[in-house]
């Protein structure tokens, strides 16, 4: 298993060495995936805050305040 993984890594590194553009594309893809993950976490956080505010307004309405 380790030997097979080493061969695959060797081929990937060799491919990147032969084509720097491919390395750039791979780096950009990883960066974009990270940015998308960050954006999704921020959206979830904003959604949770909004939900909390809506619930507090509903509780105040139900309590007659």
Rounded distance between C-alpha atoms, residue 42 and residue 31, angstroms: 17
pLDDT of 56 strictly over 70: yes
Give the residue numbers spanning the domain of 49. 2-63
Domain count, the chain: 1
What's residue 65's pLDDT?
61
Instruction: Give residue-wise pLDDT tens across range 5-35.
Output: 888 888 888 877 888 888 888 899 999 999 9
Instruction: Give residue-wise pLDDT tens across range 31-55.
Output: 999 999 999 999 999 998 888 888 8
- What lies within 8 Å, CB to CB, of 15 at 6+ separation is 22
């Amino acid at each position: 298993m380790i030997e097979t993984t080493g061969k695959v890594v060797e081929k990937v590194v060799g491919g990147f060495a032969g084509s720097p553009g491919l390395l750039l594309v791979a780096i950009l893809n990883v960066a974009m995936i990270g940015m998308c993950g960050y954006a999704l976490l921020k959206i979830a956080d904003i959604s949770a805050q909004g939900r909390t505010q809506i619930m507090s307004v509903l509780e105040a309405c139900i309590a007659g305040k």
